[in-house]
Amino acid sequence: MKSCSKQPTQKSTQLMQICRLKQWSLFFLCLLSVLCVRISTLKAQEESLKAWEAQCQEYFVEIMEIQKFRQMLQYGADEMMRRYERGNLTKKELDSTLAVWHTTESELRQKVTKIYDTAYTEKCFENESKRTERRDAP
């Protein structure tokens, strides 16, 4: 006569182990998927950050070059005025030179202002960089 006690048989024990193994496998697959998505998101953010930094660097370089050129032209205009004051230049020559300087200066000022505006819009001049916001600054 068979016993009424329900002792697990070898087959039921194996089935339970297979079931647990499937559950753990599914758990680890889900975990792996989440990690892959997170890594790809971080990589995309890093690439975006690098592109942003490169673009801001281009703005800074262009601003510096224009400002340096404006300073050089200002020095030239000042020198022309000194020459006029010393009598080495006629009023007509001075006026002609200053008209060219004024037109060039206005164009350069407008150009650099547009670059500044764009750089501010892109948040290139913010006190806290995007790296600091993301808490991944070195």
Provide the pLDDT for residue 132. 54
pTM of the predicted protein model: 0.62
Report d(CA 63, CA 113) in Å as an integer. 9
Does the pLDDT of residue 96 top 50, yes or no? yes
List of residues 6+ apart from 104 with CB closer than 8 A? 73
Q: How far is CA 93 from CA 3, 11, 53, 96, 108, in A?
A: 122, 108, 46, 5, 22
Q: What's the pLDDT tens digit per position in 99-116?
A: 999 999 999 999 999 999
Give the 3-state secondary structure of residue 88.
coil
Q: What's the pLDDT tens digit per position in 44-69?
A: 778 878 888 899 999 999 999 999 99
